[in-house]
Amino acid sequence: ETGVTQTPRHLVMGMTNKKSLKCEQHLGHNAMYWYKQSAKKPLELMFVYNFKEQTENNSVPSRFSPECPNSSHLFLHLHTLQPEDSALYLCASSQAPSGVSDTQYFGPGTRLTVL
Amino acid sequence: GENVEQHPSTLSVQEGDSAVIKCTYSDSASNYFPWYKQELGKRPQLIIDIRSNVGEKKDQRIAVTLNKTAKHFSLHITETQPEDSAVYFCAARAITQGGSEKLVFGKGTKLTVNP
């Protein structure tokens, strides 16, 4: 269960705050993902990074800003969020290119509440 | 792009009965189909997967079948137990805008196994 870690596990922020979510994978993978999980859209892909390069932005508002400094770390910078952004934010990683081992492994998530 | 439909959204069975969850996908190029189980408050975890060169795969009480022609795949759980209660997600592998790979998830099935 320690292959993909996320911090913080819980975050409460106001609409004017700036905060960052952190994800770290210890599996030697080179693809990392951010997902948003809410009651309305259970597993909604936000961003994909492959070898530190962003290869997918799923029409995510600019108030969410990802950063991938290396293949092991992924950040999601948050600013001027809306209450509807409250959700569980999940990070995942996988081996890329896929083949024998292409399973995505998820972190425990950050439960975000925007007041 | 790839679209994955999952049914039913909720499923309630008696302990010992079988449970079947069905998914359809739209992109005939998809070649990898994992199933994830998410228990309440926990991260999604892979329970079984299947590739397009195989029609069926079994792991103890869990099996997955794939019909490439019809573009649908199903999860079968036999002899269900209360600990099988969770949300199950199917997924299909697709290509991102940037040419790498991603998983497109169904909306999930909440399975409840009644003792």
How many angstroms separate the CA atoms of B65 and B56, rounded?
A: 4
Question: Quick check: helix, strand or coil at residue B101?
Answer: strand
Averaged pLDDT of chain B: 94
Q: How far apart are CA A106 and CA B82, in angstroms?
A: 24
> Percentage of residues in chain B with pLDDT exceeding 90?
83
pLDDT for residue B102: 87
Nearest to A56 among B45, B93, B97 (CB): B97
pLDDT of residue B53: 86
Interface residues of B toward A, Cβ cutoff 8 Å, are 32, 34, 36, 42-46, 49, 87, 89, 93, 96-105, 107-108
**Residue range B29-40: mean pLDDT, rounded:** 94
Least CB–CB distance from A55: residue in B93, B100, B104:
B100
Full DSSP string of A35-75: EEE-SSSTTEEEEEEETTEEEEE-S--TTEEEEEEETTEEE
CB contact under 8 A, A103 and B104: no
* pLDDT number for residue A66: 96
Average pLDDT over residues B4-21: 97
**Residue in B44, B104, B108 nearest the CB of A106:** B44
Query: With contact defined as beta carbons under 8 Å apart, do A61 and A10 qualify?
Result: no
Q: Rounded mean pLDDT of A81-94? A: 95
Average pLDDT over residues B27-56: 93
Q: Do B107 and A41 touch (CB under 8 A)?
A: yes
Q: Mean pLDDT throughout A11-25? A: 94
Q: What is d(CA B58, CA A71) in angstroms, rounded to the nearest whole number?
A: 33
Shortest alpha-carbon distance between residue B49 and chain A (Å):
9
- Enumerate residues 6+ apart whose C-beta is below 8 A from A4: A23, A24, A25, A26, A27, A91, A92, A93, A105, A106, A107
pLDDT at B52 over 90: no
pLDDT for res A41 = 80
pLDDT at A107: 97
Span A20-33, mean pLDDT?
A: 95
pLDDT > 60? residue A100:
no
Q: What is the DSSP string of B26-84?
A: S-TT--EEEEEEE-TTS--EEEEEEETT-SEEEETTEEEEEETTTTEEEEEE-S--GGG
CA distance B37 to B48: 9
Answer yes or no: do B97 and A107 touch at CB < 8 A.
no
Identify the pLDDT of residue B96: 78
pLDDT beyond 70 at A98: no
Q: Are the beta carbons of A42 and B44 separated by less than 8 Å?
A: no
**pLDDT tens-digit series, residues B54-106:** 899 999 999 999 999 999 999 999 999 999 999 999 999 988 777 778 899 99
Q: Strand order in A73-79's β-sheet?
A: A4-7, A18-25, A73-79, A64-70
- d(CA A61, nearest CA chain B) in Å: 17
Tell me the average pLDDT across A46-51: 91
Which helix (H) or strand (E) segment is A6 a member of?
A: strand A4-7
Share of chain B above pLDDT 70, in %: 100
What percentage of chain A reaches a pLDDT higher than 70?
95
Average the pLDDT over A5-27 and give the result.
95
Residue appearing with tokens 């029609």: B55
**Residue length of chain B:** 115
d(C-alpha A8, C-alpha A34), whole Å = 15
Contacts of B45 in chain A (CB under 8 A): 106
**A33 to chain B, minimum CA–CA distance in Å?**
9
Which are the contacts of A45, defined by CB distance < 8 A and separation ≥ 6?
A33, A34, A35, A56, A58, B102, B103, B104, B105
Report the C-alpha gap between B19 and B11 in whole angstroms.
8
Beta-carbon separation of A45 and B107 below 8 A: no
Q: Which residue has the tokens 């998820």?
A: A106
